[in-house]
Structure 1
Amino acid sequence: MKPAVPEHAAPPDARTRRAIPPVICYPPETLPPVDLPALRAAREGWDRIGEVMVPPRDARCFEVPAGHFFRVTSVEGAQVGDLNLWNAGDLNERFYSGKTRALHGTHLSTGDRMWSTFPALRPMATITEDTLDWYGFDAFGCSVHDVIGTRCDPYTHHLLSHGGQYHHCCHSNLTRALALAKGIGTDEAERHVHDVLNVFMCTGFSRDTGQYITKPTPVRPGDYLEFFAEIDLFGALSACPWGDCSVEMTSPEVSCHPLLVEIFRPVALPAGWQPARVNGYDRSHGL
């Protein structure tokens, strides 16, 4: 635990040092622009070509071709979900939550993109609609759809519960779903499971200790988060065993609900749109 009182006295110029204003590390103005009106116009007359219902405390996989849309919707009750995305043709290219956080912030909403891992580092999906964008940041510094939490997992549970075994954490849910969908073993599947977009989850950092905090999600049946696939995607979504995050994950009071994934095919793509290209860096690394 962190000491309650600092062990070292502040220097004479401490106030001056703390007063230095911060700078944005990655100014978003130079990122490739998002033509949100064109993307939204492409929804006109679209066809719903598939759906996957994710059961409570479990996960399911789905595919979204480039140029299609998908939605994650709350259908029965307040529920959060953990979303993994991969390049449908190469599981080694997957969602990079850390770089996405650095480029867009701790929480994602309309117009933000989910970026892939090195060396591709390209947009995988663009958020085109967020019915919870009204929430913003509350007085606790919390907001929805975070890229700061990793995913609940059985290894951390084992540590915190002094040896407990729990197989329906989101990490295990995603591992099982990927293994079954791809016909591979859980050891191989687990290597591809990665940090998530916490869909609908309301989170932040405590201002006194900097710890990761959560509170009940504001999501209600009918709310959704919608994406446009910038490349061919393979996805997995876990309906978290934490339910709405109002109580501890393993509490008997946790109420969990399913989540719906829908895939839509537009009649016509935005003019000039092409699947996202891999990053143009030459990969010489100075040698």
Structure 2
Amino acid sequence: MSAEFEHRDIQLIAARHGKAVRLAKGEAVQVLNLHGTQVVDCWAYNADDVSEYMCMEATRVWNQRLNPQVGDSFITSQRHPILTLVADTSPGVHDTFMAACDARRYELLGCTEPHRNCHDNLFEGMAELGVKLPHGNLASFNIFMNIQVQPDGRTLKTLPVVTRPGDYIILRAEMDCYVAFSACPQDIVSIQGQGDNTPRDAELRILTSGFPQVKLQGAWVPEEV
């Protein structure tokens, strides 16, 4: 299971629900896949101006990678680092491509009754902190989600997670920020592990010290020719 780091809070992300936390610059959040089967969507916002948000498009440009690895940072819509991946005990399979599920997504999947979804979970989690977001954001960092780029270089394949019970990642705050999470409620498309596609709880811990420290890297620039 998880290594122990100095922490000030432990919270459960209940299956199908969301949770948000406020981090001070230099703190970190550890996201634990308790059952080894759960996708966890993640968003982050500048605590001083929530119109500045963690942006997957800018992140891919900054790192020149489709998905992050330890040492890579997540970048905001204003091209500032907001979170850095400082530890990952999972196989390192995550996703920055797929939009978070929302009510319309489930309508398209054939649901005729309201279905819990990650987009609503984002707003609910932030509302618990007294924060109202100025707009929606479908572009989440999908922790533990297994989306494979196919050999043709353009097609994506959706597969179940490949993590193990107790696998975790640690994200360090590079500014005061809000970080929101959703224990993805998806139970139609086969993304959750163990083959039964059942959403399950995850856990987060707000870390204050003892976690790995990595140097903040600058933006990618082309090598001089």
TM bracket, shorter-chain basis:
0.7 to 0.9
Which residue in the other structure is 2:223 paired with?
none
Question: Are 1:257 and 2:200 matched, yes or no?
Answer: yes
2:69 to 95, 100, 109: 109
Distance 1:93-1:240 versus aligned 2 partners, 3 A rule:
same
After superposition, where does 1:1-287 map in structure 2 within 5 Å?
Answer: 47-104=6-63, 105-118=65-78, 121-133=79-91, 144-161=93-110, 164-182=112-130, 184=132, 189=133, 191-207=135-151, 210-242=154-186, 247=190, 253-266=196-209
Give the distance between the partners of 1:149 and 1:268, measured in 2 at CA.
29
Spell out, residue by residue over 1:12-63, the C-alpha distance to the aligned partner (whole angstroms, 9 max, x if none).
xxxxxxxxxxxxxxxxxxxxxxxxxxxxxxxxx9621112210001101111
Cα offset for 1:183? 5.7
State the secondary structure of the residue aligned to 2:99: coil
Q: Which stretches of structure 1, 4 residues or more, deviate above 3 A after TM superposition?
A: 163-167, 205-212, 267-270
Larger Cα-atom Rg: 1
Contact 1:66 1:229 in 2 (8 A): yes
State the secondary structure of the residue aligned to 2:43: strand
Measured on the aligned residues, the alpha-carbon RMSD in Å equals: 3.1
Identity of counterpart residues, as a percentage? 25
Contact 1:147 1:196 in 2 (8 A): yes
Question: Which amino acid is the alignment partner of residue 213 of structure 1?
Answer: K
State the secondary structure of the residue aligned to 1:221: coil
* Unpaired runs of at least 5, structure 1: 1-44, 136-143, 280-287
Distance 1:190-1:55 versus aligned 2 partners, 3 A rule:
farther
Q: TM-score, normalised by structure 2?
A: 0.81
Contact 2:36 2:167 in 1 (8 A): no
State the secondary structure of the residue aligned to 1:108: coil
Cα offset for 1:165? 4.3
* Unpaired runs of at least 5, structure 2: 220-225
Looking at secondary structure, tell me which structure has more helix per residue.
Answer: 1
State the secondary structure of the residue aligned to 2:94: strand
Higher relative contact order (CA 8 A, sep 6+): 2
State the secondary structure of the residue aligned to 1:78: coil
Distance 1:160-1:74 versus aligned 2 partners, 3 A rule:
closer
